[in-house]
Amino acid sequence: MDRIALVTGAASGIGQSIAEMLSLVDGATVCIADKDQAAAECAVKSIVEKGGRAFAVVVDLSDADATKAMLADVDQRVGAPDIVVNNAGIAATIPILEYPLQHWLLTLAINVTAPFIITQHVLSKMRARGWGRIVNIASISGVRAGTGRLGYGTSKAALIALTRQFAIESATWGVTVNAIAPGPVDTPLLRGLAGTKEAYEGRLPMQRFGTVNEIAHAVSFLASDGASYITGETLAVDGGFLASGLIHPS
């Protein structure tokens, strides 16, 4: 069966890799939702040129009304999504006593409220069909606290809790709701966070950062029929970071 997948923040990085895999490997028609129109259209072009099906929608996920309008547009254009990947997120490294309220509210709006709005919207149609897959891209920062991660870490912990809440109430509908908690992945977002590379050096059992493709593979599995008995879970894809205690690279 042809599936329709909605992936937010899919114009670059992890989201783009997820969109490519869902389209080119899993055969879904993918909606790339992003605030950067040029980058979204470029990502769509890349998928289409490789034989996949994709289209772009431009949306500011910090705006609840704009998010709802985007969902209505997708429904009208291709129908209700069967697969949703809430990938879009923002982060900053700011000490707790300096963290501005404005950025706190923006972080929660994009990282938590937008997934809430999107998931609530698609669940009713998934319930009617008796099938659906929702995968939230959280973070190891939502499990283990880190310096400078006040807004980001709190929002990702909330996203993990949101995942569980939606999962238990939709568990009898043929719908699964799960989360991925990536460790450090080589993306523009991570490279832009001051001190991140140094913070993880020597603390990763695999002694390397992850790749966007490794995250995409995990999402592809959770979005498949093979993951039909998994819901409410958060899968760490982190090179062993959360499992580790003291690490001695030697």
Per residue of the chain (250 residues), give pLDDT as tens: 689 999 999 999 999 999 999 999 999 999 999 999 999 999 999 999 999 999 999 999 999 999 999 999 999 999 999 999 999 999 999 999 999 999 999 999 999 999 999 999 999 999 999 999 999 999 999 999 999 999 999 999 999 999 999 999 999 999 999 999 999 998 766 666 656 666 676 788 898 899 999 999 999 999 999 999 999 999 999 999 999 876 655 5
Residue 247 is predicted with a pLDDT of 60
Q: Is 94 helix (H, G, I), strand (E, B) or coil?
A: strand
Using an 8 Å Cβ cutoff, are 86 and 116 in contact?
no
Residues spanned by the domain of 148: 4-237
Whether 193 is covered by a domain: the verdict is yes
User: Would you state the pLDDT for residue 246?
Assistant: 65
Quote the pLDDT of residue 196: 65
CATH number of the domain to which 195 belongs: 3.40.50.720
Q: 247 in helix, strand or coil? A: coil
Q: What is the rounded CA–CA span in Å between residue 216 and residue 237?
A: 10
- Beta strand 132-137 with 4-8 is unpaired
Is residue 157 a part of any domain in this protein? yes
| In-domain check, residue 242 | no
pLDDT value of residue 249: 58
Cα→Cα distances 63→19, 29, 92, 175, Å: 23, 25, 19, 27
Compute CA distances 231 → 158, 178, 206, 227, whole Å: 17, 5, 27, 8
Strand order in the sheet with 29-34: 53-58, 29-34, 4-8, 83-86, 132-137, 175-182, 234-237
d(CA 11, CA 178): 22
Known catalytic residue: 200?
no
Chain-centre distance of CA 27, in angstroms? Answer: 19
Point out the catalytic residue in the list 99, 152, 200, 229. Answer: 152
pLDDT reported for residue 204: 87
Cβ 29 vs Cβ 3: under 8 Å: yes
Q: d(Cα 176, Cα 172) in Å, to the nearest integer?
A: 9
- For residue 250, is it within any domain? no
Number of helices (H), then strands (E), belonging to the chain: the values are 9, 7
Residues 6+ apart with CB under 8 A from 16: 10, 32, 43, 212
Q: Smallest Cα–Cα separation from 179: which of 147, 222, 225, 210?
A: 222
Distance of CA 147 to CAs 16, 140, 193, 232, Å?
A: 28, 13, 12, 27
Cβ–Cβ under 8 Å, residues 151 and 108: yes
In whole angstroms, give the CA distance from residue 95 to residue 81.
Answer: 39
Does residue 248 lie in a domain region? no
Q: Is 200 a member of any domain?
A: yes
User: Is 244 contained in some domain?
Assistant: no
Q: Please, are residues 171 and 228 in contact by the beta-carbon 8 Å criterion?
A: no
Please count the structural domains in the chain.
Answer: 1
